[in-house]
Chain A
Amino acid sequence: MNNHKNVTLFVQCLIDAMYPHVAEKIVRVFEKTGVSVDCPRDQTCCGQPAFNAGYRKEAVVAAKRFIEIFETSEAIVCPSGSCVYMVRRHYPELFENDPKWRRRAKDVAAKTFEFTEYLVDILHHVAFGATFDGKVTYHDSCHLNYGLGIRTQPRKLIAGVGKAEFVEMPDSDRCCGFGGTFSVKFPDISAAVLEEKVETIVAAGADAVIGADMSCLMNIQGLLNRKNIPIKTLHIAEFIAGESS
């Protein structure tokens, strides 16, 4: 139904190593839309951890590699707003003084999409037959929200899940306090920001908190687990995928 689109999946290193089941759900969602998925074996990391810590030379290594692996793809889809922000916004910046690579970076940037953005804006597909028995809330990840302006797409997808009761929590767009290496360098500040985020999630009375960026969810899950709070953290792909067809 989609003129046989092909997407190439950039998994995000965190999902690849810690949450492989999330990537499986992403593949399932695409199968349901009739889009064929490819997933290059050579991929590793987009380079954002190095870039955000200031290590541009090291980030360039990751960026060049990413470009080489993905530039022949029709569309690159990644289930993380911060990786997409890295590719779309920072890759061209990284090659400011290198016109040849800058052009390649821009070409790749133009066809790199965030998962929910691609489903809603490109495929116009919001329901995949999933149901959820309970109350859910949504956390707006910062790079997704402030960086890419993606706010409505995840909510449309959540609305496509049967039986789920959605409750908007206050300040859903306030940072969870992760911030990459920030969380290790400034653990007390990071945890203080996180504490308030978790308080808000608990106050919303949700059974699960949905997000579209696993790094924020990992942070939130870390405190929920520490505090023995039985609220699930779910990547939006897990939430919407439903049973395999």
Chain B
Amino acid sequence: MSLSNRTRPYVTIAQRSIGDPILQNALAGLQERLGKGALNSYTEISDSESFRKKAHEIRMNAIDNLDFLLERLADKIEENGGFVHFAPDAKSAVTYCIDIAKRNGVRRIVKGKSMVTEEIGLNSALESENIEVTETDLGEYIIQLAGEGPSHIIAPAIHKTREQVGALFSEKLGIPYTDDPPTLTAAARKALREKFFAADMGVTGCNLACAETGHITTVSNEGNIRMSSTLPRIHMAFMGMERVTAKLTDHAVLFDLLPRAAIGKNMSGYISYVGGPRQSDHVDGPEEFHLVIIDNGRSRILADKNLREILCCVRCAACLNVCPVYRKIGGYAYQSPYCGPIGSVITPLLRGVNDYKDLCQGETLCGACKNICPVHIDLPRLLLELRKKLADGDPEWDVTRANPFEKAVFMVWSMLIRNRDIYDLFLKTSGFFQKFLPRRHRMIHRLPPPFHGWTDKRDLPPLASESFIQRWERMKKNG
């Protein structure tokens, strides 16, 4: 049933993570703090279930009217003197950014944390144009210095210990080694201040935009996004095209839930509303404001009524913080900036369902993700939709049948379960052959391929000599 692990990075990276006790500890600690924090925080809202359903409706309503809302948002921003670029793909978004940077002689960029810029590979593209890019979120800064990618959507350096950060800062920032978090944070702050003041351009993401008022909203806990968007001459914000709502009152609901879901707090440190460049009556802000609205595969999801629900996501990462699988395998196994349950759905859709099939098949469907999602996305249902495509192929998504052997197994299975006589015969035959399997304490110790994975680590109870139905029938006959 399984291919060689060499062709399955999800499995090989997962195995590596499972064998890393430091990472295991970090992931358990993360879930303990953030996952439980979120669930506790929801209890402070009266009837949080209905509140989250309302949030779902707000998001679905926006998704269903996306064309109208984006047009309205763009018009408003342009009215305020901003520029809007609709990027059909990653290349268009990146090229636009490079063009604007070059035209303005930009040498140095500071960035607020943004997953969509990770998705489009913005940093490496800018660096290859000899433009210096500095991540200013502490976690992002750490992994940038280390030359690594994020392993969590909001806690990107969760895989790093403070000792590792101490050694990294000592090497890269030239400070004496320490593993004292306040000292390390102060060192990062000092280094980043210089970057902020020297930057010609600030790049940020966008947590949510508002069509009614024509602004984008960014949320941070370190204040770095606000500095990135106000200090440099130019501010360029990137947003996935789904990240818009109709009305400002929608933000009140969603920003009540977002910090609760993300960090278990009822409010974030900073919420910034940006609607364009500095106006004549503003004391600060950029001279130029650009908003890049990115499609990059989202229209295709939008067109599929069974899947568009995933576009409700506000990237709070709460699903990562409760997922039993993410807890063990960490972020890198998902091979994309989007990891955990959300990554298991969105990455195959954005990058190819067949290529990333292990992501959507490698989840237990336990439902903890759905239970915590602030916008009530039915993630298990979406995983099942993807599995359906993989099982029988789906030309609309260019998906081919992933495993013809497994298909054959289930076709045979569907014949067996159709007729109790045949089913009983199957049980009886299996019962006969299981006698040849090695046992320990009356349980089966080793199964033949393709089921051997089960008995690599655990035993399996044998089939009973007589099924309950057979026994029931026998007892009925005997009165």
Contacts and interface: CB of A to CB of B under 8 A. Distances in A.
B283 interface: no
26 contacts: A17-B467, A20-B464, A20-B467, A24-B468, A44-B416, A49-B413, A53-B410, A58-B414, A142-B364, A146-B371, A174-B324, A174-B368, A175-B366, A179-B366, A182-B361, A182-B362, A184-B1, A188-B15, A189-B329, A190-B453, A192-B329, A193-B328, A196-B327, A218-B461, A221-B461, A222-B459
Interface string A208-221: 00000000001101
Contacts of A62: 414, 417
A179 B362 CA distance: 9
Contacts of B467: 16-17, 20
A17 B417 contact: no
Main secondary structure of the interface of A (DSSP, over half): helix
A225 B391 contact: no
Nearest to B457: A191
A186 B358 CA distance: 9
A20 B368 contact: no
Given A179-B363, A193-B324, A222-B460, A43 B469 contact: yes
Nearest to B5: A188
Given A17-B464, A19-B461, A175-B324, A185 B15 contact: no
A18 B443 CA distance: 11
A175 B388 contact: no
A193 B366 CA distance: 12
The 6 closest A-B pairs by CB, nearest first: A187-B453, A54-B387, A54-B391, A179-B364, A146-B367, A222-B458
Interface string B354-396: 0000100111111110110000000000001011111110000
Interface of A: 11, 15-20, 23-24, 39, 41-45, 47, 49-58, 61-62, 65, 142-143, 145-147, 173-175, 177-194, 196, 218-219, 221-223, 225-226, 228
Q: For this complex, into which size category does the number of interface residues on chain B fall?
A: 35 or more
B424 to A, nearest CB: 9
Contacts of A44: 416-418, 420, 423
B318 to A, nearest CB: 14
Nearest to B471: A20
Contacts of B414: 50, 57-58, 61-62
Contacts of A52: 365, 384, 387
Interface in B202-247: none
B406 interface: yes
A187 B460 CA distance: 13
Nearest to B462: A18
B338 to A, nearest CB: 18
A20 B466 CA distance: 8
B397 interface: no
B411 interface: yes
Interface in B301-317: none
B478 interface: no
A79 to B, nearest CB: 11
A40 to B, nearest CB: 9
B472 interface: yes
A41 B473 contact: yes
B413 A50 contact: yes
A228 B440 CA distance: 10
A169 to B, nearest CB: 15
A45 B417 contact: yes
B443 to A, nearest CB: 5
A179 B467 CA distance: 24
Contacts of A65: 417-418
B365 A50 contact: no
Given A56-B392, A188-B14, A218 B460 contact: yes
A17 B470 CA distance: 10
Given A42-B420, A182-B364, A187-B454, 4 more contacts: A43-B469, A53-B387, A173-B368, A223-B457
B345 to A, nearest CB: 14
Contacts of A47: 417
Nearest to B386: A54
Most A-side CB within 10 Å, residue of B440, B441, B467? B467
Contacts of B411: 58
Nearest to B423: A44
Contact of A16 (B2, B327, B361, B468): B468
B464 A185 contact: no
A56 B385 CA distance: 10
Contact of B406 (A11, A53, A190, A228): A53
Contacts of A192: 18, 328-329
B248 to A, nearest CB: 34
Contact of B468 (A15, A45, A57, A193): A15
Given A44-B417, A189-B18, A225 B441 contact: yes
B363 A54 contact: no
Contact of A41 (B391, B420, B453): B420
Contacts of B453: 183-188, 190
Contact of A143 (B367, B427, B441): B367
Given A17-B463, A44-B420, A53-B387, A23 B364 contact: no
Contacts of A191: 456-458
A11 B468 contact: yes
Residue picked from A17, A178, A187, most chain B C-beta under 10 Å: A17
Contacts of B459: 221-223, 225-226
